[in-house]
A and B are shown apart, each in its own frame.
Chain A
Amino acid sequence: MSAVDLVDFDTALERYDPVLGIEVHVELGTATKMFDGAPNIFAAEPNTAITPVSLGLPGTLPVVNRKAVEYAIKIGLALNCEIAESCRFARKQYFYPDLTKNFQTSQYDEPIAHDGWVDVELEDGEIVRVEIERAHMEEDAGKNTHVGGSTGRIHGATHSLVDYNRAGVPLVEIVTRPIPGTGKRAAEVAAAYVRTLRDIFRTLEVSEARMERGNVRADINVSLRTSPDAPLGTRTETKNVNSFRSIERTVRFEISRQAAILDQGGTVIQETRHFHEDTGSTSSGRVKSDAEDYRYFPEPDLVPVAPSREWVEELRATLPELPAARRRRLLGEWGFSDLEMRDVLNAGALDLIEQTVAAGAPAQAARKWWTGELARVANEREVELDGLGVTPAQVAELQGLVDGRKINDKIAKQVLGKVLEGAGDPAAIVEEEGLAVVSDDSVLSAAVDQSIADNPGVVEKIRGGKVQAIGALIGPIMKATRGQADAGRVREIILEKLGVDG
């Protein structure tokens, strides 16, 4: 890796115009496989989620999963694609042990969805429109495990095991047209595009879309040219990049690497490359040339898929509100700043806040809970927000207690802690543990008198006009009441007693 010359990313972009192209594979969350009644499940015992069809045993035939077609159409519609009136599957032929039939049943020249676009929003709100060339259906392959080598790679392995549980899992592959004009934001755009798709898949409920499980995998194509007017340069394709961070790093590395080659008057080799998490670099895979011949031909075991226009329109009419539209709507309704919204999105709290607001809490208060205290605890426990065991309804109830001045913020945090421990709903906890704010003047008055008597110096300052010193009087009172005193009322009483205007 050390032998690779690199040009600093920013410097590279002063001289070259990057063009991206991204292929995203998403595993559909159907109950059964693409062409087969075998269950579509993750992490079962090896070779248990299979049937004779999954194994491609002699005599078996594929049958198209209607649900998978529905999901593919939904994805196509969400990406503003046209949906084919009729499209066929084809066989992509090559020999490899993870392919049970030694061909992959895929769509070739007749994708189910084509010619669409999607708007990708960058962190600062800039919108980049990415054009979609096609989205097509295909089946996944099995998984090889190489045994005996040092790194789990095939090199040096004594033998390999194949798990066909994944063989035949339905995939949709979404291919962009070349994405020009991203300049210094190329890496950001690449990651944001895949994130945008990920969010769409989740909203459509067509996939769990978990990157870490490989539900969503991206192949990142990068090429450089000297100027936006120049013809496209030679591209490389880095395969199976499966985190947003890795996508950004891949783009940055490839731009730096290709720029160095071009600077030295060399030529970029068209090839597939692999990204390495540990070094952040890519390395050469196999040379991709025209010599690679998959001998595609129409799959004779399947009839064309011809979704009726009625069905397509029905699916279009029942598409859920897509993430971008929803974000715009909620941003307007809630009045968050762009920065606040970004925090919400980064924390994965949008749904939870929406539900909390629906349960009666003000949006800002809901936001503060979920991106503040709850995010902190989730981080501590290394779980997702929705895995904390606190419901939006409980958060709304808690906020209701604060807004009704039943408890103050500090007590609220204690109550939340107890909710997190599974002690029940906030109101019940406050009731049972006697945590309600003390706002009874007769109780507070005595405490104020005591505090005034104990802190003559502070009293002097306040009387002298330094009202902000009042905290030094309130503190001991809160302490004495274990935080249950209504701090606002305490302040009023102090000012009254000292005859000072707040």
Chain B
Amino acid sequence: MSTTDPIRLSAIDQARALREGELSSEELTRAHLDRIAAVDGDLNAFLHVSEAEALATAREVDAARAAGEELHELAGVPVAVKDVVVTQGMPTTAASKILEGWIPPYDATLVQSLRAARLPILGKTNMDEFAMGSSTENSAFGPTRNQWDRERIPGGSGGGSAVAVGAYEAPLAIGTDTGGSIRQPASVTGTVGVKPTYGSVSRYGLIAMASSLDQAGPVTRTVQDAAALHELIGGHDPRDSTSLEGGFGSFTEAARAQDVKGLRIGVIEELEGEGFDPLVRARFEESLAALEGAGAEIVRVSCPNFQYALGAYYLIMPSEASSNLAKFDGMRFGLRVVPEESPTAEAVMKATRGAGFGDEVKRRILLGTYALSAGYYDAYYGSAQKVRTLVQSDFAAAFESVDVLASPTAPTVAFRLGEKTSDPLAMYLNDVATIPANLAGTPGISLPSGLAEDGLPAGIQFLAPVRADDRLYRVGGALEALLEDSWGGPLLAQAPELSGGIAR
């Protein structure tokens, strides 16, 4: 590895190199495509690589730059997009057989933003089918493998995006986070992921799992890169009724500030004890100590209703998902299975859904359908919504005394492929720390806290009040710098080298 290898630079530094003429976007994009060709056969982070389109965009940027046109700061820096995000003219499957071959006729709003800023789109990243899972093992097109250990899961649902940036296949990626699908993969791959405030990034063009929980956000290697990508894809969208008007601080300024003096950090008592592995907790405590050393104030806060969050989540999410996934019926797009003996519309719908959806998707559709049924609605969906309100009030109470909250992002480091596939409950517990933010709509960031069990990365999560995403970048940027000083460089530099698709 050469230290000048452009794909190892942060996205911000790649952008600087482009601006300063050190390399062209075409060269940079080609370097990433070469990297994908070299390592993705093993990693399976990409479901689709859009080489021609990415290079065309790169050449446009180069021409525009040569012509002296004003360009977006990130113009020419490639990006990978999670396959749950709709891309015009580019396959979009949400890692499901039911959408195999579907070419959308429109772009998600955030994809329009990427295109308008002229970021070459390298392709679509792997994920758990319809973003349902915590390991990317539920992809209909095979799991993604963790670049730290290819026998380990990369987290989920956005394992593909996390590994794409973690393995230098892309400097930037888009993820979506319904219960932790950006933050938990970041945690187990040693990368950075941000779930923005609900409504901060348009959901128009995100294939919905749970409408009231889904939020797209940046997946990167550095906090500053995340801030820059968040600013690019954020903003009000009239096509999304739940989209927020402005009123956010500058994320990039906050990420650069590296100043936590007087910042009050609340450690969530309910999310630090039992169930969290010892070294994961140790890295968490060390991170807090580093912040305290830099002038932050660490306090303990209690969020008593967080213990009910997982249960509430597994009622609300499947309820909404069961409804959102009803449209996949073989009538208008995607897979259509026609049973010979009885080709009625109803039979086609049944056969298509039976063949097109994987087990976890079916499990959640069944759960949600049951929870919304007459006679059960109040007990399940209704009660879960009450818990949701309680979780929100826990956040509100906590943020009266602290600026941000902190916890380990996930209870463990990456587990082995197949280890939890037969135990859905164990799988669901991965998201115990990330789910409360989705229920409350509050923003959260995960960044590496160091190496924990088995020499694998662990993550620390910060949560901020709604619209105070800038606080995440302030504390994240500061901690990242403190930890990298102590490590002598980025954590990812300690990851094993990948070479030519040969497992280590």
Contacts and interface: CB of A to CB of B under 8 A. Distances in A.
B81 to A, nearest CB: 12
A77 B210 CA distance: 36
A108 B418 CA distance: 44
A302 B241 contact: yes
Interface string A53-76: 001111111111000000000000
B128 interface: no
B319 A297 contact: yes
B332 A95 contact: no
Interface in B227-243: 238-242
A295 B374 contact: yes
Interface string B309-329: 000000000011001001111
A58 B381 contact: no
Contacts of B331: 97, 162
A372 interface: no
Contact of B345 (A63, A97, A301, A303): A97
A114 interface: no
A160 interface: yes
A160 B332 CA distance: 13
Interface stretch (A98-106, A429-437, A479-487): A98-106
Contact of A93 (B240, B242, B326, B329): B326
Interface in A37-89: 52, 55-64
B326 A59 contact: no
Contacts of B203: 61
A52 B374 CA distance: 31
B207 A58 contact: yes
Interface string B324-354: 0011110111000000000001100100000
B241 A101 contact: no
Contact of B332 (A55, A61, A63, A290): A55
A62 B327 contact: no
A61 B208 CA distance: 9
Interface in B87-114: 92, 94, 99, 102, 104-106, 108
Contacts of B372: 93, 295-297
Given A56-B327, A100-B327, A61 B104 contact: no
A500 to B, nearest CB: 86
Contacts of B377: 295, 297
Contacts of B204: 59-61
B373 interface: yes
Nearest to A291: B374
A300 interface: yes
A300 B212 contact: yes
Contact of B240 (A55, A61, A160, A295): A61
A95 B349 contact: yes
A46 to B, nearest CB: 14
Contacts of A62: 241
Contacts of B381: 297
A21 B210 CA distance: 38
B320 A95 contact: no
A301 B326 contact: no
Interface string A9-30: 0000000000000000000000
A58 B94 contact: yes
Interface string A284-301: 000000100101110011
Contacts of B238: 63
A300 B214 CA distance: 11
Nearest to A292: B374
B345 A58 contact: no
A166 interface: no
Given A102-B326, A297-B381, A59 B205 contact: yes
6 contacts: A58-B86, A58-B94, A58-B327, A61-B241, A160-B345, A297-B381
